[in-house]
Amino acid sequence: MTPQVPATQMELTTTLPPTTALREVPAVVARIERLGFDTVHVPETTHDSLSVALLAAEHTSRITVRTSMTLAFPRSPMVTAYAAWDLARFSEGRFQLGLATQVRGNIVGRFSVPWDRPAVHLRDYLASIRAIFAAFATGAPLEHEGSHYRFTRLQPYFNPGPLSTAAPALYTGGVNRRVCEVAGELADGFVTHATNSHPSHLRTVVLPGLRAGAERAGRAGIPRVVVMSKSITGPTQAALAASRDSARQELAFLFSTPAYRTTLDRLGLGEVGERLAEMAASGHWAGLADTLDDETLATLIPHGTYAELADVLERAYGGLADGLGLGLPLDPGDDEDFGALLERLRLIPTSAATGDPPATGDPTASPPRPSITH
């Protein structure tokens, strides 16, 4: 059966580094499991997320393997559903499917796929997956007609048959209110984007959107919320500074995308976003990091040594989230101290424990700048 983290216990997640070569995946995911994480996120940047998820499932025995996020629109829902069903069967229920829209520039320019009403499209994609999973599980006729997809044919010869575990949980993510509402209607969980994990964004956009979508669908409670804030940490102040410098380039690249600038605008940092976008548009990638100074990073991203970070994250996210993401230590020699940090993070109160119960009900129903530092 799928391992379930109790609703009152914080789920601890890390992302498989996107640059991990396929031959390195077994050793990295084994280390992730030894450290004590509950879940490993498999991204989709330079590798196919579903292929990497198979490797991660093969070389672990306890943790949940969740794609975060598999790009939905370049794939037929049927193709995705077959892969997810196989992964769930192979992992004996430890696989969860995360699906997301990405941004228009990548979908159109990198994948040559049409871009049309992304929130509506994602809603129909999730509903299609739900309908296909139900047909796989029960053998009932497949009948789905939505805004973007129509599925009416699944002969017994092509049906993989029921699982011995539950169907894979469906997660999604995003930054705007409409996508949050879609998640509230149809998803089991929601993963925040690194650029929009600030507590103010959770309170004003993510949680209200999830609640509105869940209410519209007649669900009691909201999907699980996993916050991937790109926290900056290390065993010492010197290591913390090194981690800050290594994170600066990635965050500057992400914030250079106009669709990800919501938090910058809300915190009075709109000019920073404009500068980053102008530099990206002109191809000045190497200079992006210089635009995010230490003060700006402290405003946007939680900072703290291993001894400090649990308190920092509890102040920022206690009662707002059900899961927290944290990067792997750069030095395996720090793993023991890092494991102790994870045990402290596990005790942070979750949103389910303090106010938002987990979603129940039919998910296919119709329709001044604060610094996050120690």
What is the SS3 string spanning 131-168? Answer: HHHHHHHHCCCCCEECCCCEECCCCHHHCCCCCCCCCC
Tokens of 316: 């920022």
> Which of the 8 DSSP states describes residue 191?
E
- 160 Cα distance to chain centroid: 28
What mean pLDDT comes out for the span 49-56? 98
Half-sphere exposure of 142 (CA within 13 A, CB side): 25
Could you read off the pLDDT of 261-272 as tens digits, one per residue? Answer: 888 888 899 898
- Amino acid occupying residue 328: L
Could you read off the pLDDT of 199-234 as tens digits, one per residue? Answer: 999 999 999 999 999 999 999 899 999 999 989 999
Dist. CA 88–CA 99, nearest whole Å: 15
Cα dihedral 288, 325, 238, 291, rounded to 10, equals 10
Dist. CA 252–CA 351, nearest whole Å: 30
The band of 48, judged by pLDDT with boundaries at 50, 70 and 90, is very high
**Closest Cα partner for 260 from 183, 195, 191, 177?**
195
Spell out the domain ranges in the chain: 11-232+326-354, 233-301
Tokens of 182: 């879609």
Tokens of 71: 């790009």
The band of 373, judged by pLDDT with boundaries at 50, 70 and 90, is low
* Sequence-distant contacts of 52-58: CB under 8 A, at least 24 apart: 52/16, 52/20, 52/22, 52/25, 53/87, 53/95, 54/87, 54/90, 55/22, 55/25, 55/26, 55/29, 56/16, 56/25, 56/29, 57/87, 57/90, 57/91, 57/94, 57/95, 58/26, 58/90
Q: Which residue has the higher pLDDT, 8 or 113?
A: 113
What's the CATH architecture for 11-232+326-354? Alpha-Beta Barrel (3.20)
Dist. CA 103–CA 89, nearest whole Å: 31
pLDDT of residue 273: 87
pLDDT of residue 288: 86
